[in-house]
Amino acid sequence: MKRFFKPIEKDGSAKKPTLSTNQEDNEKKEASESEETNNNGNTMKKEPLKFITWNANSLLLRVKNNWPGFSKFVSDIDPDVIVIQEVRMPAAGSKGAPKNSGEIKDDTNSSREEKKILMRALSSSPFGNYNVWWSLADSKYAGTALLVKKCFQPVKVSFALDQTASKHEPDGRVILAEFKTFRLLNTYAPNNGWKEEEKSFQRRRKWDKRMLEVVVQLSDKPLIWCGDLNVSHEEIDVSHPEFFSAAKVNGYVPPNKEDCGQPGFTLSERKRFGAILKEGKLIDAYRFLHKERDMERGFSWSGNPIGKYRGKRMRIDFFIVSEKLKDRIIQCEMHGHGIELEGFYGSDHCPVSLELSPASPDSNES
């Protein structure tokens, strides 16, 4: 399926699919709308201003079961950029061979069919108006995607927290898009887990340490950091603080009391997240606008409607922006609500949106 959005990592571009007449017309219209004329009469490209982040909890399952609803949502919001976490599509490459994390696996009958289903959905309206980049795990696990309207071409797209690395982050957890006036960082943070183990607390501590270093390194240009960050910063960011603080599995109690509780709501994670925001001079766009707890629409993740997690909700999907951008925040909203997960489109996470006002010509953001 090479005709579909094949990413080219060297220059961060992506191949365009063959367009229908209607798609060509839409693309020309969007290109016109994305341009402005300066005082000298020269045409300049505007930067993206509207963004959506969503943990899809398997993009293929959403395409099969929830696509009409999500497609309408995207059409209504009309974002310039969409970032997705938990794509859960395996990277290209046969068993035992090196994997290409920027391509979807298609070397077996089943994988070819799954890729065909997914790419057909992404070539239909409104998604056909976007270029797509992937960062995928070796198996149906984790993974991220970046969709950018074709009229907004990133200067560069990379796939690791280490800016000197050419490879993708393990499990496809990172896509970093650099535009002329800002950077967009899409991350799927590893879950903290429940125990003092290498793939649990230790893995998350290492991730948070790297994130702190990265946001400081990227501070030369305004940053929009978004995605499933797998942390709720304050008590106001969860529906039931006492429940989450006391949560445990099989009676296990961590040696350090600051590691006790629900993954994403332990005191140690919350402290580290606060340090990242402080050192990176970043602010939480949603909390900047919404100061009070909203029990109906104030959370992005919701527990299973059946069982002890029914009605237990957390805000772990974010738009974190540089302080220099705070006066440009028009809105930041969570689009799911209620215990029955309305507006979640089959996932356990709902989409979150951010809209910025255009930068003033004389702004000094960078």
**Percent of all residues in the chain with a pLDDT value above 70, rounded to a whole number:** 86
Q: Is 131 annotated as a binding-site member? A: no
Mean pLDDT score, 171-197 = 97
Q: Using the predicted structure, report yes or no on whether residue 242 has a pLDDT greater than 60.
A: yes
- The pLDDT of residue 364 is 63
Catalytic residue among 80, 138, 208, 228: 228
Does residue 252 have an active-site annotation?
A: no
pLDDT in tens, 126-161: 999 999 999 999 999 999 999 999 999 999 999 999
pLDDT reported for residue 28: 54
Give the pLDDT of residue 248: 95
Residue 25 has pLDDT above 60, yes or no: no
Q: Are 136 and 40 in contact (CB under 8 A)?
A: no
Identify whether 335 is a catalytic site residue: no
Please tell me the distance from the alpha carbon of residue 286 to that of residue 53, in angstroms, as a whole number. Answer: 13
Structure token digits, residue 183: 């950077």
pLDDT reported for residue 6: 38
Average pLDDT over residues 11-33: 49
294 is catalytic: no
- Using a 10 angstrom Cβ sphere, with 0-12 exposed, 13-18 middle and 19 or more buried, the burial of residue 250 is exposed
192 labelled ligand-binding: no
Q: Pick the residue with more confidence: 292 or 2?
A: 292
Q: How confident is the model at residue 20 (pLDDT cuts 50, 70, 90)?
A: very low
| Residues 212/280, Cβ–Cβ less than 8 Å | yes
Q: What is the pLDDT of residues 312-328, one digit of tens each?
A: 999 999 999 999 999 99
| Mean local confidence (pLDDT), 79-103 | 96
**Mean pLDDT throughout 167-178?**
97
At residue 231 the predicted structure's pLDDT band, cuts being 50, 70 and 90, is: very high
CB atoms within 10 A of CB 118: 20
Least Cα distance to 154 among 47, 49, 82 occurs for 47
Q: How confident is the model at residue 43 (pLDDT cuts 50, 70, 90)?
A: very low
Q: Is 290 annotated as a binding residue?
A: no
Asked if residue 86 belongs to a known ligand binding site, the reply is yes
Q: State the pLDDT confidence band at 228, using cuts at 50, 70 and 90.
A: very high
| DSSP sequence for 67-99 | HHHHHHHHHHH--SEEEEE----PEE--TTSPP
- Tell me: is residue 55 an annotated ligand-binding position: yes
In angstroms, the CA 160 to CA 148 distance is 19
In which band, very low, low, confident or very high, does the pLDDT at 163 lie, cut at 50, 70 and 90? confident
Q: In the predicted model, what is the mean pLDDT of the chain?
A: 90
At 325-365, the pLDDT tens digits run 999 999 999 999 988 999 999 999 999 999 999 998 766 66
Task: Examine the pLDDT at 11 and tell me if it is beyond 90.
Answer: no
Instruction: Kindly state the tokens that stand for 140.
Output: 């149906």
Q: Coil, strand, or helix at residue 59?
A: helix
- Find the catalytic residue in 233, 335, 337, 349: 349
Q: Is 228 annotated as a binding residue?
A: yes
**In the beta sheet, which residues pair with residue 91?**
104
Q: What is the pLDDT of residues 44-69, one digit of tens each?
A: 458 999 999 999 999 999 999 999 99
Longest CA pairwise span in the chain (Å): 69
**pLDDT band, very low/low/confident/very high, at 38 (cuts 50, 70, 90):** very low
Q: Which domains does the chain have, with CATH numbers?
A: 50-356 (3.60.10.10)
Q: What local confidence, expressed as pLDDT, does residue 10 receive?
A: 39
Mean pLDDT of 73-92: 98
Q: What is the pLDDT of residues 256-269, one digit of tens each?
A: 999 999 999 999 99
Strand pairing category for 156-158 and 81-85: unpaired
Q: What angle do CA 182, 187, 193 make, to 5 degrees?
A: 150
Task: Provide the pLDDT for residue 360.
Answer: 83
Mean pLDDT of 279-296: 97
What is the Cα–Cα distance from 186 to 177, expressed in whole angstroms? 8
Question: Which of these, 299, 280, 172, 152, lies nearest to 225 by C-alpha position?
Answer: 280
Q: Would you state the pLDDT for residue 269? A: 98
Instruction: Provide the angle, in degrees to the nearest 10, between the axes of the packed helices 201-217 and 267-280.
Output: 10
DSSP for 232-301, please give it.
Answer: --SGGGBS-HHHHHH--STT---SSGGG-SSTT--HHHHHHHHHHHHHHTEEEHHHHH--S--TTTS-SE
Which of 80, 106, 188, 317 is the catalytic position? 188
